[in-house]
A and B are shown apart, each in its own frame.
Chain A
Amino acid sequence: MLQHIIPATGLLFTLQNILWINIGVFIGSVFAAIPGLSVILCVILFLPVTYSMTAIPGMMFLLGIYCAGGYGGSVSAILINTPGTPHAAATMLDGHPLSEQGRTKAALKIALYASTFGGVFSALMLLFLGPQVARIAAQLGTAEYFMVCVFGLTIIAGVSGKSMIKGLISACLGLLISCVGSDPMTSYDRFTFGIPRLYLGLDLAVCLIGLFALVEIMAKAERRLDRLNLDTTQIKDDGVITKAEYKRMTRPVLISSLIGVMVGIIPGTGASEASWFSYNTAKNMSKHPEEFGHGSVEGIAAAESANNAVTGATLIPLLTLGIPGDGTVAIMLSALMINGLNPGLSLFTTQGDIMYAIMLGLILVNVFMFLQGKFLTTIFAKVVSIPQEILTPIIVIFCFAGAYSVNGNYFDVGVALIFGILSWVLRKLELPPVPILLGLVLGSMTETNFRRALLISNGSPSIFFSSVYCIIFLVLIVGAVGAIVRGKMKERKASQQKED
């Protein structure tokens, strides 16, 4: 490890990288602070920008957006009682009441400190755990890799929507769309319908712009224009946090960071699950549970440290197995692969310097997130009340410019539009879009390993049950499906009882 760290620091500490980290952190904080805009939307919009960059600045920029997104959501949650991102909902429970007690700056400060701690803790975990998991991943063959892909897809399909069957339909749709273009093994064209441009396949960034960004624009039809007039001059408190409060926050921050890491490693789970789980744990362990929901410093600290502790942990399965921990890091996989960085042990050995630079960079991202949070929070707070009339056309222009810039033609803009319409229809049919994203990202890898494994076994499917790792993943898939189905049945029963 040490032989990579010294050259990695040299690669990381350049003016260009530091600049891109700061741009990413700023954009991520702004996007996450605005209710209705999500971190995933932000990463999709700015993904084409990274296509002209090398691996380290590109990843630093995207990681800046991703990590700052974890903190930015808390700004609007505290200020206007509306979470900027779904995972800031738990922060809102105590953040806004504390703000109403005249301690807005203190609430923002607690969120920032806890987010930074969670983020740095998670980055350190990635640094130490990543290479170990990669060593295990190196022992996996094509059949095992196929099982890993199926495992990732099953979990994400299971937890993404209300119905597991609908999640699986979405995942199949994503995988089928990934088949468009040339066959990865024989180069024969598939599902191109005589359109030459489709021979190269559909670009991930273009599909995602339609699936996640343009559909949000169409969804403006469902919402009323709510004015979020925030008077930032009202934030007048000195933001002092007492020694006793720091002491009270220590334990929930540590435990929540650990919970965030553990939740983040499991594919399909994310910051929302981590923050709610941590919030409840902190409440159960607190000496003052009665304060929760009324401005508890422990509540804010627990939720915020957990949702940022997820950031590094989601990268562990991504960098070692190629299985994204959540939807946002799935997009980062394409930024890695475009630079020839394929997940696995080789990434930590042959490309070790770059890999360690990215992992160390995550710590740096959190440091700059802290600094920007400390000095620019007033700007983030003002951004919360940007009117939708201005924001909507700007997002559309970004979407179209981003789609065009991928290959420099309007065909891709048309594809993005078609995916926007498809996503709208899927939304109406209550089909979750995240499994489609995973299907698109993992499609080629899943198919290549599936076919290679069958080629090795001369067409016999017994190869998928032949090794210990295959059996382990099979048991994990069955166990996960069982747990998800049981959970969904419980949820249904509970909602039926409520209705009765």
Chain B
Amino acid sequence: MSKWVEQFNGRMDAWGRKLHEKEIRIPIDLVTGILFFLLGLGVLLVMPDQVAISEKDVVNGRAFPTMLTVVLLLCCAMLIGKELYKLATKQPLNWKVINIQVEIKALIILGILVVTYLLSKLTGLFVVGAIFCCLGFLLYFRCRKKSYYVITLVIAVAIWAAFRFALGVDF
């Protein structure tokens, strides 16, 4: 068993080393500006469907979100304009380095969170999700100390019991 774990860890380390060197560089301000500009346009597009109004209203429910979206679009236009000006004058853009290894690790953590949520929801027992969460994270951190497993599981069950019996949360 321990040999298998060693082999698995070895493979993961080798894979991690390869991924650690892989990076993507993105012009962060330009991307942010474009993304939120599209979001703003999307909000304006769905507004008539999503915000019902009465014709009699002097100031209706669309006024405030429309004003916000216009401010958002203006900010994005400024951000994009600033970056395009830098591009035209050959000034360096604001780049962000995205490390693939970090993003994959974040996805694994997200996976643990999603499975915890689904297990709790589908079984209707929060404690099942809580136990999975503990095991998932201890395995993620490659923890080998048995005492940590015991301590974490005991605390997880204690938190569930505190919410269930002391605070009266029914889960």
Contact = CB atoms under 8 A, between A and B. Distances in A.
Interface of A: 49, 52, 163, 165-166, 168-169, 172-173, 175-176, 179, 183, 185-186, 188-193, 214, 217-222, 225, 387-390, 392-394, 396-398, 400-401, 404-405, 408, 410, 413-414, 417, 420-421, 424, 428-431, 446-447, 450-451, 454-455, 458-459
B32 to A, nearest CB: 5
Nearest to B122: A410
A494 B52 CA distance: 50
Interface in B115-171: 116-117, 120-121, 126, 129-130, 133-134, 136-138, 141, 143, 148, 151-152, 155-156, 159-160, 163, 167-171
Nearest to A448: B64
A410 B117 contact: yes
B28 interface: yes
A334 B34 CA distance: 34
Interface of B: 28-29, 31-32, 35-36, 43, 46, 50-54, 57-61, 63-65, 67-69, 71-72, 75-76, 78-79, 82, 96, 98, 102-103, 105-106, 108-110, 112-114, 116-117, 120-121, 126, 129-130, 133-134, 136-138, 141, 143, 148, 151-152, 155-156, 159-160, 163, 167-171
A188 B58 CA distance: 15
B57 A186 contact: yes
B32 A389 contact: no
27 contacts: A52-B167, A168-B71, A169-B79, A175-B64, A179-B65, A186-B54, A190-B61, A191-B65, A214-B113, A221-B108, A222-B106, A389-B148, A389-B152, A394-B156, A396-B113, A396-B133, A400-B129, A404-B169, A408-B171, A413-B120, A417-B114, A429-B32, A430-B32, A451-B64, A454-B58, A454-B59, A454-B63
Contacts of A408: 169-171
Nearest to B105: A221
Contacts of A390: 148, 151-152, 155
B148 A401 contact: no
B75 A169 contact: yes
A413 B121 contact: yes
Given A168-B71, A451-B64, A387 B129 contact: no
B141 A428 contact: no
